[in-house]
Amino acid sequence: MLRTDTEYGTIIKMSKKEKALAKIRQNPKHVRFEELESVLLRLGFKKRQDGTSHSIFTFGKHILNIPKRKPFVKRVYVELFLQVLDEIKELDEPEKKSKKP
């Protein structure tokens, strides 16, 4: 995310990944499977299985089993995704802090 202050206010530029993630966080009840799949793949998750009713995504030791439900993925699965994402960020932050001199 890039912040720029101007005389008219603050301009915030976000990547497509950040925009999609912000949209999911704002309204987890209305997330389409395709949107969730796109964000997962952009974040580095691997699609391990693509069955008829479920898809399995992995990232290290984290495994997400997401059912393909139309029109929207159930809120519980979206919240599970957000919880896993927060865990990954928490694990990543101590490494960044320790690298700073």
This prediction has a pTM of 0.73
Domain boundaries, the chain: 15-99
Question: Is the C-alpha dihedral spanning 17, 83, 81, 76 positive or negative?
Answer: negative
Mind listing the pLDDT tens digit for each residue in 43-87? Answer: 899 998 777 788 999 998 999 999 988 899 999 999 999 999 888
Whether domain 15-99 has CATH 3.10.530? no
Euclidean distance between CA atoms 47 and 35, whole angstroms: 14
**Residue 66 in contact with residue 42, Cβ under 8 Å?**
no
Least Cα distance to 84 among 53, 50, 40 occurs for: 40
Q: pLDDT class for 2, splitting at 50, 70, 90?
A: low
The owner of tokens 């309204």 is 27
